[in-house]
Amino acid sequence: MISIAIMGFGTIGSGVFDVVNINREILKKHVGDEVQVKYVLDIREFPGQPVEKVLVNDVNRILEDPEITVVVETMGGVEPAYTFVKKALEAGKSVATSNKELVAAKGHELMAAAREKGVSFLFEASVGGGIPILRPLRTCLTADRIEEITGILNGTTNYILTKMGQEGTPFETALSEAQAMGFAERRPEADVEGHDACRKLAILLSMVLKERVDPADIYTEGITKITAVDFVCARALGMEIKLLADAEIHEDAVFAMVSPFLVKPDNPLYAVRDVFNGILVHGNMVDDLLFYGRGAGKEATASAVVGDVVEMLQHPAGTVYDGWGEEKRVLSDITRDRHSFLIRVPDQEAEAVPRAFPGAEAVKAALEGEAAFVTEVLSEQEFSERAEKLSILGRIRVHA
Ligand code: HSE
């Protein structure tokens, strides 16, 4: 019998508890022994629930038990998760986490601690929920130079945009639905302002570059300024509005941003709806790859966490993944990045648009009191300079 511990019995932690119990036989086949949850750390009480028997509220019970070689962290947030994970690694225990905030902020330190002790720190569930994306990047795709990553990396915002676009659901209603289904972060700004997608993009880039990418260096815009009129324009153009996490990796420059984009129908991400995530990876040898699946939610995310647990139990000696270094990668200034833009202006300014943007084409949509155009492709800096000449009511980047 192999005993593991779970720190944090929220949506994902309780999912891990369920996966270990429901798929007991499957896990036994992969690990070669039965896996049981010996401790669940939480300050709350869960009277009458099966977890009650293994509930502890002192982390030292886990840290001081030599039977525990693998710990799951599903508390979320940086503290106290960081302190507990660091202590677990220093105590010679491997750790699997779903905590993207922790990995993006402190991953490099925790990987160093794991290397030092010859244990593992894995975090498949931190990006794309149940989608296997980090393991392919760190194992199967190491022969490729990854040149582009474009992802729908946040299930909550994709759910909101889908509901707003397809059913005309108001933003707040769609957000409440996502919260009720256990997709959203405790602080919904993390989802709707793009911070969660930004952290996930930082993790993906760090893994590909093997250098630390700081989420604070990634230009990030959320979906709170998207309106019903934007969806009317998107429909007229035959495109979908998606919150994309986009990175282009050149020899001498790395551009990264999180922003709402108009996505064309020939892009596989066009059809990624509801809570689903999609991640397009382009390698110089393998060409295009698409990873698709449930990007949030209890069972799917817990499945990814337990997959990490299995991998760590299969390799009890040594560090499974050595991670990325401490040194920070400097990202390129996005003012040099190039896109075309959907812009909306008051009706009376429609005539001024071609003077500011000579290549702009009018969007054929019946809008009240305003007009919409798609500009030519130009740099972010050129766009900002020319847009200053107009009273822009809204603008959305168009993905190439
Ligand atoms: N709030 C996140 C999302 C959870 O909606 O994608 C999964 O990381």
Q: 58 to each of 16, 65, 84, 192, how far by Cα in Å?
A: 20, 12, 11, 34
Q: Is the CB of 191 under 6 A from ligand 1?
A: yes
How many Cβ atoms from other residues are within 10 Å of residue 157's Cβ?
32
Q: Is the CB of 293 under 6 A from ligand 1?
A: no
Tokens 């993009």: give the residue: 201
Kindly indicate the confidence band of residue 4, based on its pLDDT and cuts at 50, 70 and 90.
very high
Q: Is the CB of 185 under 6 A from ligand 1?
A: yes
Tell which atom from ligand 1 comes closest to the C-alpha of 178.
5
Element (H, E) at 160: helix 155-167
Nearest to 397 by CA among 248, 152, 221: 221
Nearest to 324 by CA among 219, 214, 195, 244: 214
Nearest to 310 by CA among 20, 8, 15: 20
Tell which atom from ligand 1 comes closest to the C-alpha of 191.
1
Active-site amino acid positions: 200
Phi first, then psi: give them for residue 173, nearest 5 degrees. Answer: -65, -45
The rounded percent of the chain whose pLDDT value lies above 90 is 100
- Pocket residue to mutate for ligand 1, from 11, 156, 199, most atoms within 8 A of Cβ: 156
Ordered by where they begin, the domains of the chain are 2-129+298-314 (3.40.50.720), 134-294 (3.30.360.10), 335-398 (3.30.70.120)
Q: What is the pLDDT of residue 201?
A: 98
For ligand 1, the distance from its centroid to the CA atom of residue 344, given in whole angstroms, is 30
Q: Is the CB of 296 under 6 A from ligand 1?
A: yes
Phi first, then psi: give them for residue 145, nearest 5 degrees. Answer: -90, 115
Rounded to the nearest integer, the mean pLDDT of the chain is 97
User: How far is 183 from 159, CA to CA, in rounded Å?
Assistant: 9
Q: What is the pLDDT of residues 216-244, one digit of tens each?
A: 999 999 999 999 999 999 999 999 999 99
| Token representation of residue 205 | 């880039």
The rounded percent of the chain whose pLDDT value lies above 70 is 100
Tell which atom from ligand 1 comes closest to the C-alpha of 190.
1
Q: Is the CB of 129 under 6 A from ligand 1?
A: yes
Q: Is the CB of 295 under 6 A from ligand 1?
A: yes
- With both helix axes pointing from N to C terminus, report the angle between 100-117 and 195-209 in degrees, rounded to the nearest 10: 30
Q: What is the pLDDT of residues 42-96, one digit of tens each?
A: 999 999 999 999 999 999 999 999 999 999 999 999 999 999 999 999 999 999 9
Q: What is the pLDDT of residues 262-283, one digit of tens each?
A: 999 999 999 999 999 999 999 9
For ligand 1, the distance from its centroid to the CA atom of residue 273, given in whole angstroms, is 14
CA angle 133, 138, 140 (to 5 degrees): 80
For ligand 1, the distance from its centroid to the CA atom of residue 275, given in whole angstroms, is 9
Q: What is the pLDDT of residue 348?
A: 97
Q: What is the pLDDT of residue 34?
A: 98
Q: What is the pLDDT of residue 365?
A: 96
Tell which atom from ligand 1 comes closest to the C-alpha of 277.
6
Q: Is the CB of 149 under 6 A from ligand 1?
A: no
82 three-state secondary structure: helix
Using only C-alpha atoms, what is the Rg of the chain? 23
For ligand 1, the distance from its centroid to the CA atom of residue 191, given in whole angstroms, is 7
Q: What is the pLDDT of residues 141-197, one digit of tens each?
A: 999 999 999 999 999 999 999 999 999 999 999 999 999 999 999 999 999 999 999
Q: What is the pLDDT of residue 193?
A: 98
Q: What is the pLDDT of residue 150?
A: 98
Q: What is the pLDDT of residue 333?
A: 96
| Token representation of residue 140 | 């199967």
For ligand 1, the distance from its centroid to the CA atom of residue 352, given in whole angstroms, is 41
Contact 70, 96 (CB under 8 A): yes
